[in-house]
Amino acid sequence: MQLIPVTHQAAVAGERAVEAFAGVVGCIGDAGFAQGALAQLNRWLPVSWWSVFRLHDDAPPDMPASGSYRAPDHTAESWHEYRTSLYRSDQTFLAAREQVQDQRQVLVHWHAHEIPRQHRERIYTRHGLRERLSIVCRARDEGLLAVNLYRHEELPRFSDEEIDLVGSAAGLLLSCVQRHLSLCGGAPTADTVLAGLTRRERDVCERMLKGWTYDGIAADLGVSPGTVKTYRDRAFDRLGIHHRNELFALASGRRA
């Protein structure tokens, strides 16, 4: 693991870099920001996946944006694995948390083989990810904001020169992401929150979000109220929550 303080912000240089970041800026505020911005970044630097994490001090994390480029997009599936359980034992951002101050940014570079086994197998090995390079800063409210850049095995490792390039552009990329989140709220939609659930678990949660009673959900789905509560409990376990109000908070982008 490398922890690299970003001590200076060089101007983005080179025609490809200027065009790429102009493209990223042009994606700000669009519904397709995650995919579009990643495609623009790939004009400058090859990246298979990217994701934006908000790592809160006193609540589960959320992922307001993610996407893939010329690779199968399993970012939502991987997020489900992470959000359901892995985040509780994740130490890969610990060093960054200890180092970042108000406006300071750091790069955190992890090779897959350095990631603890369970985390590595359920995300990195399963999806052929070679490494992750994260730009981390303090979030504007609390906790951390991390922009994660991933490479698959088909791509070469990030070189020292490429890591330096990312460091030189870290502030600009973070500003683009923060501006997009401020315009769009950065809140995950209910569809995103429920994406990792089974069909029945999702059916139950969708109706709970509409204010239905357990008896009403049971009648609509043709099952017993006890079965509805079983699906609810399974869904809550996957989502890492315990109460109905936490489900509403997740779906609305608030933190319970």
Residues 175 and 208 in one domain: no
pLDDT of residue 256: 39
Q: Strand 62-68 to strand 49-55: parallel, antiparallel, or no bridges (unpaired)?
A: antiparallel
Closest listed residue to residue 204, CA positions, set 187, 216, 192: 216
Residues 57 and 173 in one domain: yes
Residues 109 and 231 in one domain: no
Residues 17 and 140 in one domain: yes
Residues 113 and 227 in one domain: no
Residues 179 and 200 in one domain: no
**Tokens standing for residue 39:** 């495609």
Residues 176 and 194 in one domain: no
How confident is the model over 214-253, as pLDDT tens digits?
999 999 999 999 999 999 999 998 887 888 888 887 776 6
Residue at a domain's end among 169, 184, 199: 184
Output phi, psi for 114, to 5 deg: -90, -15
pLDDT of residue 104: 81
Residues 135 and 197 in one domain: no
Residue 80 pLDDT grade (very low, low, confident, very high; cuts 50, 70, 90): confident
Residues 179 and 203 in one domain: no
Integer angstrom CA distances of residue 75 from 34, 96, 133: 11, 22, 15
Distance CA 174, CA 80 (A): 24
CATH number of residue 243's parent domain: 1.10.10.10
Q: Give the structural domain span for 240.
A: 190-252
Q: How many domains does the chain have?
A: 2
Choice between 81 and 115, residue whose per-residue pLDDT is larger: 115
Most confident of 8-12, 105-109, 193-197: 105-109
pLDDT of residue 198: 85
How confident is the model over 17-56, as pLDDT tens digits?
889 999 999 999 988 899 999 999 999 999 999 999 999 8
Choice between 190 and 206, residue whose per-residue pLDDT is larger: 206
Residue at a domain's end among 136, 160, 184: 184
Residue at a domain's end among 184, 199, 215: 184
pLDDT of residue 246: 85
pLDDT of residue 255: 46
CATH number of residue 102's parent domain: 3.30.450.80
Integer angstrom CA distances of residue 204 from 154, 193, 214: 40, 13, 9
For residue 176, give the H/E element and its range.
helix 160-184
CB 56 within 8 A of CB 142: yes
Residues 56 and 135 in one domain: yes
How confident is the model over 142-195, as pLDDT tens digits?
789 999 999 999 999 999 999 999 999 999 999 999 999 988 865 555 666 776
Radius of gyration of the chain (CA): 19
Most confident of 74-83, 91-100, 217-226: 217-226
Residues 35 and 112 in one domain: yes
Whole-structure pTM value: 0.75
Amino acid at 73: D
Question: CA-based diameter of the chain, in Å?
Answer: 64
Closest listed residue to residue 90, CA positions, set 71, 59, 67, 118: 118
pLDDT of residue 5: 77
Residues 67 and 141 in one domain: yes
Choice between 109 and 196, residue whose per-residue pLDDT is larger: 109
User: Residue 124 burial by CB count (10 A; 0-12/13-18/19+): exposed, middle or buried?
Assistant: buried
